[in-house]
Chain A
């Protein structure tokens, strides 16, 4: 690659009829201007954010609806998202690595992750906010951290699962190579575990960011009992605009959000996807590998190349040497006799076992403590409330089913039409991706104006809101499934005159079934999670709610009614886990066994 970097500028120069060195100088100038302005903006944002973080605690910040305030709000929100994502990434690598490499830890960590994944974001609210605001009573840091942690809870879990699965399914030969060459643990982590899981991580990161935007409003403005909190940010801005019913501010806020998402897509995710292409494990090349203009620019940039050569490589080399020294190779020949070595090994294994027992014991005590406290809280929930919660859960379940059914009904024909036509899939896929990444929550206020006029009010509107949040998973998967149908199969069907409904029944539906199930699984989880923001909505200064478990949880969190919040959360988590086990996992296995086109 180094060679390509040097050659590229000159090639361009000759094409434009300029001398090589002039173009080279121009490229340097462009790099300096672009890089400099990027660094300047970043520093400015950091300084502003730091001054806000260090300022005395102000639970409710007055939000200005002026368009001039928007860039700063967008910057604040972006910074929170970035920090939360960094945290989620760190968590993913640590948690996933431990779960995949330590058999004992795996038994606890993976079910726990399954549980965490099914807990709705607002249920984390009291614990996170109360603890952090209490920890930093003098400044805004606690509040900001709480917001970041809330975003984190909407980003981390799917990434962790993805990483864990990649590490668990590493090719055996490559693992053997690492052991044979006696790679140090850090080398193995970097060159094998991380590298093999990058593609999954990138795609899941994109999903995580979509999840983060979805809950942006909920994580920047919340109330807890009689205390309410509001942080400056795009989410608060949109929420205020909706409450005031200010169409101009609402439109501007939405445009800013969309602009931000499109910007991130072109400048971060697309380059990442194109770059991650090299980490594919299968050796056959794809017909049209993903491509990114921004990545090409970065690769051709002389400034970056210079930085890499003079700063990156030596620094990295020094770091690698340091890491290598910190992790000496195992089994270095020592001059101990066999007996001594055996003794050594035994004492070390005792030490290890002791440590494990200590940690497990501590964790066990913690778990017992939490269960005890939780049990105490649950005792405060009267039976009548339990009954109401169960009924509410039923209502929400029916809503998620309706949302999934509607989503499936419209996405199958549309997705198949797009997927089967190469021309349309090329044209529409980027568009669909952008549309899908606009968080539905931001559209709620606009939609509510229309929906409230319909009969059934929020009860039906909530279904549509869930649908908005989840249909895209199904659509993406249906498109992917349709694109994966082998041409031979379609041609054979055409030759034998299999058309119309018969064609759907015998060719298309079975072929896309595994993809459809994958999409529905994600959509189902998403619909439950979306219920807490779609069954209870702030609009035009009033609170609209309908009967459902999401509304119960949101209301309990807002009122600081912890027993009901806990009961509702447990109920939802149990239902989601149960549905996954009883319905979705079975459907998935059926799909894998019978309909997977190998």
Chain B
């Protein structure tokens, strides 16, 4: 078998995305508002034969949407995807997708799941069977043909997912976080086997695009890395991957690249290309400066989790390497980044050259007892989060010290999609409750001040109000 020679490929362009811009469009939401939230802005990329490209980005950068656009499942609002120069108009047989959730049909056996795509091609039964069995054998599922997915472990299920995608012999394999639902050991095992098949050219696939949260995974697998930024999703930078020989963990080049990527990811407001150019001119290809943030976006983290991280950093002398922290806590980027982002937003810590460094307030908070912790958190939250400050002010002024959530939700909807607006409000509620800035009554959807003398003056009215709302 021919070995795939090097990672430097100048193969033909298989897939090309040109200036993809996508606006969020919920079900039945067309034309309801003038400006739908922007998910992706002006993303262009190319995938060439022989390469494995990783797509890295924080949550909210539209990675999944981009992948679905490339697969032909979603039609972008603007821009075009071309496969071999032909515009893409819906799913094509030359792209296959492996899902994070496996997406197996629970009522079909392993064999039937793998055969599914071949049936759609209209192949006769014997040919179908032959091809499916060959791929099942190759992917290490031999003996499980008649099993149902629920009888399999997560790793075996994802093997079925790979077998199903490979059975139709796609040119381009799209991988949507295929290893992130697996435990660490299983993921490593499956990753290695996939790479073996790929290096030895045992599968007809000519290129792969891997969406991931895991920096180590990206560095150890990819020939090229695309870094997406969030709000709205845009291409921040493009980094050349390591040559195959240098992808051993703990090798200097490997550690260096991982650190670089952490630094890049933890400084979302900096110009990615500029940062990289200063640091490592050889790696950088191109990138876009980040568009200005339209509205303050809160990372969805629980305050207690963030404070936990601060305490950990404090225990190491107020400064810790993010790559190490991530590995040690087994947090992937989509879990670690929001925590860092939150600490940064509240000015409790700031990322510096791939490290997380506590600020003075951050150090105080990490050492404080529960009450003091809450006081400091409240102080920072009120100083830094515009919406929390607004709610606190409104509550102080409002009659009865009660405000309807709808007012703020309406505001958020102008900047976010329906689901994200609600998620933002939920985070505001979590933070506000933790900081004891207000209480929130879920069923009525009302913010109220913490009970003190003022509200106790009219308890009957407040109670009556609640009651009325409850039966509404």
List which A163-190 residues lie within 8 A (CB) of chain B: 171, 173-174, 176-177, 179-184, 187
Chain B 87-109: CB-based contact to A (< 8 A → 1; otherwise 0): 00111110111010101011110
Complex Cα distance, B103 from A547, in Å, reads 57
Complex Cα distance, B91 from A392, in Å, reads 60
Please state if A173 and B101 are interface contacts (CB–CB under 8 Å). yes
- Minimum C-beta distance from B157 to chain A (A): 9
A502, CB-defined interface residue at 8 Å: no
Partner of B150, one of A2, A283, A324: A283
Please state if A176 and B103 are interface contacts (CB–CB under 8 Å). yes
The winner among B119, B120, B164, B168 for most chain A CB atoms within 10 A is: B120
Q: What residues on A are CB-neighbors of B168 within 8 Å?
A: 181
Chain A 3-23: CB-based contact to B (< 8 A → 1; otherwise 0): 100000000000000000000
Known: A279-B107, A283-B106. A183 touches B116 (CB 8 A): yes
Known: A177-B99, A179-B73. A331 touches B89 (CB 8 A): yes
A207, CB-defined interface residue at 8 Å: no
- Minimum C-beta distance from B404 to chain A (A): 17
Please state if A191 and B91 are interface contacts (CB–CB under 8 Å). no
B125, CB-defined interface residue at 8 Å: yes
B287, CB-defined interface residue at 8 Å: no
Please state if A182 and B150 are interface contacts (CB–CB under 8 Å). no
Known: A278-B107, A279-B106. A181 touches B117 (CB 8 A): yes
Please state if A180 and B150 are interface contacts (CB–CB under 8 Å). no
Q: Nearest B residue to A324 by beta-carbon distance?
A: B122
A87, CB-defined interface residue at 8 Å: no
Please state if A331 and B99 are interface contacts (CB–CB under 8 Å). no
Q: What residues on A are CB-neighbors of B125 within 8 Å?
A: 317
B68, CB-defined interface residue at 8 Å: yes
Complex Cα distance, B68 from A3, in Å, reads 39
- Minimum C-beta distance from A369 to chain B (A): 31
Complex Cα distance, B107 from A192, in Å, reads 9
Please state if B91 and A180 are interface contacts (CB–CB under 8 Å). yes
Chain A 196-228: CB-based contact to B (< 8 A → 1; otherwise 0): 000000000000000000000000000000000
B163, CB-defined interface residue at 8 Å: no
Complex Cα distance, B112 from A177, in Å, reads 14
- Minimum C-beta distance from A181 to chain B (A): 4
Q: What residues on A are CB-neighbors of B72 within 8 Å?
A: 180
A594, CB-defined interface residue at 8 Å: yes
Q: What residues on B are CB-neighbors of A2 within 8 Å?
A: 146
Complex Cα distance, B96 from A191, in Å, reads 19
| Number of cross-chain contacts by CB at 8 Å | 82
Q: How many residues of B contact A (CB 8 A)?
A: 34
Please state if B148 and A278 are interface contacts (CB–CB under 8 Å). yes
B245, CB-defined interface residue at 8 Å: no
- Minimum C-beta distance from B121 to chain A (A): 8
Please state if B120 and A329 are interface contacts (CB–CB under 8 Å). yes
Complex Cα distance, B68 from A285, in Å, reads 31
- Minimum C-beta distance from A523 to chain B (A): 23
Q: What residues on A are CB-neighbors of B393 within 8 Å?
A: none
Q: Nearest B residue to A281 by beta-carbon distance?
A: B106
Complex Cα distance, B112 from A320, in Å, reads 15
Known: A173-B101, A192-B105. A331 touches B148 (CB 8 A): no
Complex Cα distance, B97 from A176, in Å, reads 9
A321, CB-defined interface residue at 8 Å: yes
Please state if B116 and A278 are interface contacts (CB–CB under 8 Å). no
Q: Nearest A residue to B113 by beta-carbon distance?
A: A177
Complex Cα distance, B125 from A321, in Å, reads 9
A340, CB-defined interface residue at 8 Å: no
Complex Cα distance, B86 from A434, in Å, reads 63
Known: A283-B149, A324-B122, A329-B120. A174 touches B103 (CB 8 A): yes
Please state if B122 and A325 are interface contacts (CB–CB under 8 Å). yes
B218, CB-defined interface residue at 8 Å: no
- Minimum C-beta distance from B346 to chain A (A): 31
Please state if B120 and A184 are interface contacts (CB–CB under 8 Å). yes
Chain B 114-142: CB-based contact to A (< 8 A → 1; otherwise 0): 00110110101100000000000000000
The winner among A179, A181, A283 for most chain B CB atoms within 10 A is: A181
Partner of B120, one of A3, A182, A283, A325: A182
- Minimum C-beta distance from A73 to chain B (A): 39
Known: A179-B73, A183-B116, A278-B148. A594 touches B105 (CB 8 A): no
Please state if B73 and A180 are interface contacts (CB–CB under 8 Å). yes
Please state if A180 and B96 are interface contacts (CB–CB under 8 Å). yes
B71, CB-defined interface residue at 8 Å: yes
Known: A3-B146, A173-B99, A191-B108. A180 touches B122 (CB 8 A): no
List which B34-53 residues lie within 8 A (CB) of chain A: none
Q: What residues on B are CB-neighbors of A320 within 8 Å?
A: 119
Chain A interface mostly: helix
Q: What residues on A are CB-neighbors of B89 within 8 Å?
A: 331
Complex Cα distance, B124 from A324, in Å, reads 11
Please state if A177 and B103 are interface contacts (CB–CB under 8 Å). yes
Q: Nearest B residue to A593 by beta-carbon distance?
A: B443
Please state if A176 and B73 are interface contacts (CB–CB under 8 Å). yes
Complex Cα distance, B146 from A595, in Å, reads 41
- Minimum C-beta distance from A405 to chain B (A): 20
Complex Cα distance, B117 from A187, in Å, reads 10
Q: What residues on B are CB-neighbors of A284 within 8 Å?
A: 150
List which A275-298 residues lie within 8 A (CB) of chain B: 278-281, 283-285
Please state if A174 and B105 are interface contacts (CB–CB under 8 Å). yes
Q: What residues on B are CB-neighbors of A281 within 8 Å?
A: 106
A330, CB-defined interface residue at 8 Å: yes
- Minimum C-beta distance from A335 to chain B (A): 12
Please state if B103 and A181 are interface contacts (CB–CB under 8 Å). no
Please state if B71 and A180 are interface contacts (CB–CB under 8 Å). yes
Q: What residues on A are CB-neighbors of B108 within 8 Å?
A: 191
List which A306-341 residues lie within 8 A (CB) of chain B: 317, 320-321, 324-325, 329-331, 333
Q: What residues on B are CB-neighbors of A279 within 8 Å?
A: 106-107
Complex Cα distance, B164 from A593, in Å, reads 39
- Minimum C-beta distance from B63 to chain A (A): 15
Q: What residues on B are CB-neighbors of A283 within 8 Å?
A: 106, 149-150
Please state if B124 and A321 are interface contacts (CB–CB under 8 Å). yes
A1, CB-defined interface residue at 8 Å: yes
Partner of A191, one of B103, B105, B122: B105
The winner among A177, A184, A191 for most chain B CB atoms within 10 A is: A177
List which B144-181 residues lie within 8 A (CB) of chain A: 146, 148-150, 164, 168
Complex Cα distance, B89 from A278, in Å, reads 35
A195, CB-defined interface residue at 8 Å: yes
Q: What residues on A are CB-neighbors of B148 within 8 Å?
A: 278
Q: What residues on B are CB-neighbors of A171 within 8 Å?
A: 103
Q: What residues on B are CB-neighbors of A333 within 8 Å?
A: 86
Please state if B120 and A183 are interface contacts (CB–CB under 8 Å). yes
The winner among B93, B122, B125, B146 for most chain A CB atoms within 10 A is: B122
Q: Nearest A residue to B470 by beta-carbon distance?
A: A590
Q: What residues on A are CB-neighbors of B117 within 8 Å?
A: 181-182
Complex Cα distance, B306 from A499, in Å, reads 41
Complex Cα distance, B99 from A59, in Å, reads 62
The winner among A176, A183, A195 for most chain B CB atoms within 10 A is: A176
- Minimum C-beta distance from A252 to chain B (A): 43
Q: Nearest A residue to B119 by beta-carbon distance?
A: A187
- Minimum C-beta distance from A64 to chain B (A): 48
Please state if B120 and A187 are interface contacts (CB–CB under 8 Å). yes
Complex Cα distance, B106 from A284, in Å, reads 11
Known: A187-B120, A285-B150. A195 touches B103 (CB 8 A): no
Complex Cα distance, B89 from A284, in Å, reads 38
Complex Cα distance, B123 from A324, in Å, reads 10
Partner of B122, one of A174, A195, A321, A594: A321
Having A176-B68, A192-B105, one finds 11 other A-B pairs with CB under 8 Å, namely A173-B101, A173-B103, A174-B103, A176-B73, A177-B99, A180-B72, A181-B164, A183-B116, A317-B124, A329-B120, A329-B122
The 9 closest A-B pairs by CB, nearest first: A173-B103, A181-B117, A324-B122, A183-B120, A279-B107, A180-B91, A195-B107, A283-B150, A181-B120
11 A/B residue pairs, CB under 8 Å, sorted by A: A176-B68, A176-B97, A177-B164, A180-B71, A180-B91, A180-B95, A187-B120, A278-B107, A317-B125, A331-B90, A593-B443
